[in-house]
Structure 1
Amino acid sequence: MLCRLLEIPRSVYYFYKNKPLTATEIRNNKLKKKISTIFFTNKQRYGATKIHQVLLKEGISVSLKHVQKLMKQLNLRSIVVKKYRPQRSNKPIILKENLLNQDFSTETICEKWAADITYIPTKKNGWCYLSSIMDLHTKKIISYTFSKRMTVDCVIQTLNKAKIHYHIPEGMILHTDLGSQYTAREVEQWLKTNKIRHSYSRKGTPYDNAGIESFHASLKKEEVYTTSYSDFEEANRALFSYIEGFYNRNRIHSSIHYLTPQEFEELAKEKMA
């Protein structure tokens, strides 16, 4: 029946049906399975570049172009969403010193930290707020606090959590924006007590805090904008899973040689030992 519809001899049909796969076809099929596994294990967050690096780390020799080709055949595309853009403020500009001055270079951990607050939407509780701190050496989120209100206490709580788990050397830099939570007297006093130098972004210059801004962009693209949280508790669980289960321990970064933040931190600690 099929042969008549296609107007081809039965012998030709059975020849191609029973034709063994070539070595290239077998390898491509194995690669497709591996690529699909990496793609869905990472919740569709990895594009061809990161999948290519994972394959290389696992000893699988393949070009980026070939990975892109196979992903296209599989119709696998990483999550892409519109970037969040905060509203402009008409408040007067506060002049503070920018110690970092876009110099994100470091020799080891706990030299330069970056902190910021970002908005997380929920259906029941409206806007909630994630306060987080990144070590610029490892790109690891070393501390975070999720709250229903954007307060100074939320920022100090995040700082205290970081202090519990990391030794703070005298003169370390904490870089933030000029938000009222970070310019508050209580925060300035906490930093002074712990001998931390406070560096501030210039108004309207997000690249001054590029590290933490990049984290927030990834968080929004790969997690927040891909779903809808019913309430604060659901969002809190999702953020914990993303930060602790994926970002810190499984998400590779090109800026740290395609290692995860946790792996890079462990290497830094080994060098310090």
Structure 2
Amino acid sequence: MAMKDYSDEFKADAVALYESTPGATYKSIAADLGINRATLREWVLRDRERRGVTAVAAKPAAQPREAASSADPDERIRQLEARVAELEASERKLATERDILRKAAKYFRRDELVISRFQFVDDHRNTYEMKRLCQVLGVNRSSYYKWLAGAEARATRQREDRILAEEIREVHGESGGAYGSPRVTAELREKGRRVNEKRVARIMRTFSITGIRLRRRVRTTAPDPAASPVSDLFQRDFTATEPGRKYMGDITYLPLAGGEFLYLATVLYCFSRKVVGWSIANHMRTSLVADALQMAASARGSLDGAVFHSDHGAQYGSRAFAGLCDQLGVTRSIGAVGTSANNAACESFHASLKRETLQGTRDYGDAGTCRRTVFAWLTRYNTRRRHSANGHLSPNEYEHRHHTAKLTLAA
């Protein structure tokens, strides 16, 4: 069922998604969001009017090609010969570029030490034209010559780094492999070596010398000891044979550049695995999960009589959230403490979101980019992403077919 009353946040995110997507059309973005094309267009125009931005002028139509070719056969032949020469030159250029990139591939393999692009240019300067090499690899020629001029000083630093690396390995080995850069630096200084910690840390990274360090874990589940006990009504059964009965939710962190985070709370509809409510904020207060549940109530029309399942997070166990559930007619269910399997479906959903949006990167960059990226994925997840639990139908299509089948049986 489509959401009839869209929040201001949803509208703003939809407009931001359209404006920030190169080559976007109202039709394509509206299809991803599951809304009407005219509705999206109205939001965009209204936002532009508010910001005083005039509509972008349509691209001028391409000039029509000359309708009639030259009547002179000799002139026509000359034109064709010129065109053939142009295509041959273009083909030679592309062949050269392909050859350069093929040979450059080994310089940038992830499983080997990455060699500088400047080094590749230097190794092949006698094989290819310098200008072409730099163009294909995206290298500034003046920067390359500057790099070349510093070769001797760079070689000296590398020799000194190798010597220091051996000293670091000795200290690291004496510690049983436990020391990181701060303690290694202190030990070297104790032995009379004048060195700063940043250099030690850099060399340890370069030569893969690591201390014992527990991986930082962002904790999003913190139980509230004062909360009233709530039963686990799901018992790890996240399926639903009837619509409108079972929902589940969780919080996950969204990493930003600089070590900061945003937090995402979601509400999933067990029957179709559709994400019916979500909220993004820079905090994990109760309002985060409350906003997500209220969005779900608005999207579904009502949650009266439904069961909502979550983990033991303090937000879900708070009095404010319990009051909201009572107001909406929702029965709470909380999984047993001790394992993430008690909320496995939500954990899997959040893992898929971050895997497919981060695509191997460490963070989303700034907060605005993070919000747009996650918003686009969530809406596309509902409208287009095929889900194995739905027989590889999108959540919206699964609900639509169920509703159509129900009407057919009733008739």
Shift of 1:268: 2.9
Shift of 1:256: 1.1
Percent identity of the aligned residues?
A: 28
Q: Which runs of 5+ in 1 are unaligned?
A: 1-83
Residue 218 (structure 1) aligns with: 352
Please, which of 235, 242, 256 is the counterpart of residue 377 of structure 2? 242
Residue 237 (structure 2) aligns with: 103
* C-alpha spacing 1:185/1:89, structure 2 compared with 1 (3 Å): closer
Shift of 1:180: 0.6
Paired with 2:389 and 2:262, the residues of 1 have a C-alpha distance of: 30
* C-alpha spacing 1:125/1:160, structure 2 compared with 1 (3 Å): farther
Query: RMSD across aligned C-alpha pairs, in angstroms?
Result: 2.5
Question: 3-state DSSP class of the match of 1:98?
Answer: coil
* In the alignment, structure 1 residue 230 sits paired with structure 2 residue 230: no
Bigger drift between 161-170 and 198-207 goes to: 161-170
Paired with 2:292 and 2:406, the residues of 1 have a C-alpha distance of: 25
Shift of 1:222: 1.4
Residue 115 (structure 1) aligns with: 249
Shift of 1:238: 0.4
More helix, by proportion: 2
**Alpha carbons 1:100, 1:199 under 8 Å: kept:** yes
* C-alpha spacing 1:184/1:90, structure 2 compared with 1 (3 Å): closer
**Based on CA coordinates, which of the two structures has the bigger radius of gyration?**
2
1:174-200 deviation per Cα after TM superposition (whole angstroms, max 9, x unaligned): 000110110110100010111111000
Map residues 1-273 of structure 1 onto 2, 5 A cutoff: 95-123=229-257, 126-227=260-361, 228-245=363-380, 247-273=381-407
* C-alpha spacing 1:268/1:209, structure 2 compared with 1 (3 Å): farther
Question: 3-state DSSP class of the match of 2:337?
Answer: coil
What is the aligned residue count? 189
Q: Which runs of 4+ in 1 moved over 4 A?
A: 84-95
Question: 3-state DSSP class of the match of 2:264?
Answer: strand
Paired with 2:368 and 2:222, the residues of 1 have a C-alpha distance of: 33
Paired with 1:114 and 1:105, the residues of 2 have a C-alpha distance of: 11
Paired with 1:201 and 1:213, the residues of 2 have a C-alpha distance of: 13
1:112-154 deviation per Cα after TM superposition (whole angstroms, max 9, x unaligned): 0010000000015711100101001101111111111111111
Paired with 2:287 and 2:224, the residues of 1 have a C-alpha distance of: 24
Question: 3-state DSSP class of the match of 2:385?
Answer: coil
Paired with 2:371 and 2:343, the residues of 1 have a C-alpha distance of: 24
More strand, by proportion: 1
* C-alpha spacing 1:89/1:182, structure 2 compared with 1 (3 Å): closer
Question: 3-state DSSP class of the match of 1:163?
Answer: helix
Paired with 1:188 and 1:160, the residues of 2 have a C-alpha distance of: 13
**Alpha carbons 2:221, 2:314 under 8 Å: kept:** no
Shift of 1:224: 2.7
Paired with 1:90 and 1:178, the residues of 2 have a C-alpha distance of: 7
Paired with 1:202 and 1:214, the residues of 2 have a C-alpha distance of: 18
Higher relative contact order (CA 8 A, sep 6+): 1
**Alpha carbons 2:297, 2:303 under 8 Å: kept:** no
* C-alpha spacing 1:260/1:250, structure 2 compared with 1 (3 Å): same
Bigger drift between 219-228 and 203-212 goes to: 219-228
* C-alpha spacing 1:209/1:271, structure 2 compared with 1 (3 Å): farther
* C-alpha spacing 1:221/1:89, structure 2 compared with 1 (3 Å): closer
Shift of 1:217: 1.2
**Alpha carbons 1:125, 1:231 under 8 Å: kept:** no
Question: 3-state DSSP class of the match of 2:355?
Answer: helix
Q: Which runs of 5+ in 2 are unaligned?
A: 1-215
Amino acid at match of 1:267: R
Bigger drift between 164-173 and 258-267 goes to: 164-173
